[in-house]
């Protein structure tokens, strides 16, 4: 074991054995990534409580040993890690079954109130239990200690925080485990690693300043037995809190079921954003690209790497060879979006855009349209346009069309590169040629243009400047003529 609690002489001996490779397994804190710790041949890296470690720390050993197998464990993965898993760059396994006889923890969000504090602690002490009172400010923690001493003069109260000497802190925690302390006033130092079955009430002061993962982990310090547990999140008046803080508190209050850490982490991803997957930021939105486009680029890049450079590692590489068609790019002259006056929450709009981009059938679009109207009311014009464009993308993608440009007076279809035999030797291109040569598109004055890629330019019978919906419907009707099945049906 290697940590700051190990004597210096012992640390030196362990580090030397790690360097020589005579130690098979070493368990430690951040001390393991110090400059003086050198591994001879690291084969497996397990990171427990992953949410406590920064990107630089987690990647240090992986950079030194690129082929090391890595397992990260956490009840609440940070947004960046969760995003890696959800886009397929890392495998994800979820354990959602709680230990036997555990009960959900009752979670109460309330303004700081001494009477509430007195009642909550008195109830726990009356049934022989112990209490965590978390105040994450060392400079004012004595004030909380004095307040609790006034409220409970006979109770045994101690303070624990990271600035205490190692031996003293260890002794305080041992006394608490041995039930020689009734109330422990502490910082987030108790956030993980503690399993004390007799502690079933925790009060968290200024809960609005803590992250969602922190709150979930801290709440998990109680309810470690079959006894009913309580978590009080104490805040200033709600009117003074930021929207993000209110979202975090609402989430932790909503997900009280055991094993709901994954749901909490998903909501955290919504609130904070996915972070910088190529850098050290662990949260944050990608404003410049837009979340939907960013997600698509990542998914395509990961799929390509799995089927080329890393195909020996990923067994699903064979499946990648028959991957679905690349989505058609569509540009248009009108507004197609979910307006912020229709769906006010930015994170909710991101979620809806993502669902829209992943819809692969007209049934899925119809369900999404019905849900939007049910939740937010009648669809605004921009939203109708967006759903129409999504429908157009589904149809065009199935026909392997690379790009569609919709302008006020014309539309241009761009076909795949010339080397794409699956398109040019297949039924779809034959149907395109037949539609043009037989005059089925004569109303639109079709013109083939062979630039870098083959294009088909279609002229609209009138300007659609004031009727975008009609423009998209016209393009859809043209695409129907490109479908071999539709062509065969009309001939029959």
Token look-up 């809960």 returns 207
Q: Could you please report the per-residue DSSP string of 48-78?
A: SSGGGS-HHHHHHHHHHSTT-EEEE--SS--
Distance CA 300, CA 321 (A): 13
Which region among 62-76, 288-302, 337-351 has the lowest average model confidence (pLDDT)? 288-302
Rounded to two decimals, the pTM is 0.55
pLDDT higher than threshold 60 for residue 430: yes
327's tokens: 């989505």
- pLDDT given for residue 138 in this prediction: 94
Residue 136 · residue 190 · CB < 8 Å? no
Select the highest-mean-pLDDT range: 5-19, 260-274, 438-452, 472-486.
5-19
Mean pLDDT, residues 465-480 taken together: 92
pLDDT higher than threshold 60 for residue 436: yes
- pLDDT given for residue 490 in this prediction: 40
Per-residue pLDDT reduced to its tens digit, 44-61: 999 888 877 877 777 777
Instruction: Say if 8-86 and 106-258 have the same CATH topology.
Output: yes
Fold assignment, 324-491: 3.90.1150
Q: Comparing C-alpha atoms, which of 398, 400, 378, 481 is closest to residue 435?
A: 481
Mean pLDDT, residues 90-108 taken together: 82
Would you list the domain boundaries of the chain? 8-86, 106-258, 324-491
Residue 140 DSSP code: G
Mean pLDDT, residues 130-157 taken together: 96
Per-residue pLDDT reduced to its tens digit, 62-72: 787 788 898 98
Per-residue pLDDT reduced to its tens digit, 113-134: 999 999 999 999 999 999 999 9
Find the length of the chain: 492
- pLDDT given for residue 198 in this prediction: 95
Instruction: With cut-offs at 50, 70 and 90, classify the pLDDT of residue 259.
Output: low
pLDDT higher than threshold 80 for residue 310: no
pLDDT higher than threshold 90 for residue 481: no
pLDDT higher than threshold 90 for residue 272: no
> 200: exposed, middle or buried (C-beta count within 10 Å: 0-12, 13-18, 19+)?
buried
Which residues, including other chains, have CB under 8 Å from residue 24's CB and lie 6 or more apart?
Answer: none
pLDDT higher than threshold 60 for residue 284: no
Q: Could you please report the per-residue DSSP string of 190-227?
A: GSSS---TTEEEEEEETGGGS-HHHHHHHHTTS--SSS
Instruction: With cut-offs at 50, 70 and 90, classify the pLDDT of residue 224.
Output: confident
pLDDT higher than threshold 70 for residue 100: yes
- pLDDT given for residue 169 in this prediction: 92
pLDDT higher than threshold 90 for residue 146: yes
**What is the side-by-side order of every strand in the sheet holding 183-186?**
106-111, 230-235, 199-205, 130-134, 183-186, 157-160
Per-residue pLDDT reduced to its tens digit, 173-222: 999 999 999 999 999 999 877 889 999 999 999 999 998 878 888 988 99
Q: Tell me what the pLDDT averaged over the chain comes to.
A: 84
Instruction: With cut-offs at 50, 70 and 90, classify the pLDDT of residue 98.
Output: confident
Instruction: With cut-offs at 50, 70 and 90, classify the pLDDT of residue 317.
Output: very low
**Percent of the chain's residues with pLDDT above 70:** 86
- pLDDT given for residue 370 in this prediction: 93
pLDDT higher than threshold 80 for residue 307: no
Per-residue pLDDT reduced to its tens digit, 389-420: 999 999 999 898 999 999 999 999 999 887 77
CATH number of 106-258: 3.40.50.300
SS3 annotation, 444-471: HCCEEEECCCEEEEEECCCCCCCCHHHH
Distance CA 32, CA 23 (A): 13
Fold assignment, 8-86: Rossmann fold (3.40.50)
């Amino acid at each position: 074991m290697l940590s700051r609690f190990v004597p210096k002489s012992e640390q030196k001996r362990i580090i030397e054995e790690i360097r020589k490779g005579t130690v098979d397994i070493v368990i430690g804190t951040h001390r393991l990534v110090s400059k003086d710790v050198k591994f001879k041949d690291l084969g497996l890296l397990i990171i427990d409580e992953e949410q406590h470690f920064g990107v630089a720390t987690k990647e240090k050993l992986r950079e030194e040993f690129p082929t090391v197998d890595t397992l990260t464990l956490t009840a609440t993965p940070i947004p960046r890690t969760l995003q890696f898993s959800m886009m397929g760059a890392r495998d994800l396994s979820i354990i959602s079954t709680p230990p036997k006889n555990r009960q959900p923890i009752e979670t109460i969000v309330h303004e700081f109130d001494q009477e509430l504090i007195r009642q909550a602690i008195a109830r726990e002490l009356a049934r022989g239990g112990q209490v965590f009172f978390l105040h994450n400010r060392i400079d004012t923690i004595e004030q909380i200690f004095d307040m609790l001493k006034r409220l409970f003069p006979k109770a045994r109260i101690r303070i624990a925080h990271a600035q205490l000497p190692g031996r003293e802190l260890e002794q305080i925690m041992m006394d608490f485990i041995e039930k020689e302390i009734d109330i422990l006033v502490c910082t987030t130092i108790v956030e993980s690693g503690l399993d004390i079955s007799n502690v079933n009430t925790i009060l968290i002061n200024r809960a609005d300043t803590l992250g969602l993962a922190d709150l979930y982990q801290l709440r998990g310090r109680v309810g470690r037995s079959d006894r009913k547990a309580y978590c009080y999140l104490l805040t200033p008046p709600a009117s003074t809190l930021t929207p993000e803080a209110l979202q975090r508190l609402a989430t932790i209050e909503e997900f009280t079921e055991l094993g709901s850490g994954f749901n909490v982490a998903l909501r955290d991803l919504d609130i904070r954003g996915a972070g910088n997957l190529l850098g050290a930021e662990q949260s944050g939105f990608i404003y410049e690209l837009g979340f939907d486009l960013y997600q698509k680029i990542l998914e395509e890049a990961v799929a390509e790497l799995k089927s080329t450079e890393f195909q020996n590692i990923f067994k699903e590489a064979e499946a990648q060879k028959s991957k679905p068609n690349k989505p058609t790019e569509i540009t248009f002259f009108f507004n197609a979006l979910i307006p912020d006056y229709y769906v006010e929450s930015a994170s909710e709009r991101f979620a809806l855009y993502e669902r829209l981009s992943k819809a692969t059938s007209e049934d899925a679009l119809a369900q999404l349209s019905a849900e939007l109207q049910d939740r937010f009311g009648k669809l605004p014009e921009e939203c109708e346009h967006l759903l129409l464009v999504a429908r157009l993308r589904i149809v065009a993608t199935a026909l392997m069309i690379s790009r569609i440009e919709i302008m006020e007076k014309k539309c241009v279809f761009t076909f795949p590169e010339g080397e794409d035999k699956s398109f040019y030797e297949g039924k779809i291109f034959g149907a395109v040629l037949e539609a043009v040569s037989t005059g089925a598109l004569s109303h639109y004055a079709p013109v083939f243009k062979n630039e870098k890629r083959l294009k088909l330019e279609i002229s609209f019978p009138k300007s659609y400047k004031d009727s975008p919906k009609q423009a998209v419907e016209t393009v859809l009707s043209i695409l129907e003529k490109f479908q071999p099945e539709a062509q065969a049906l009309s001939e029959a």
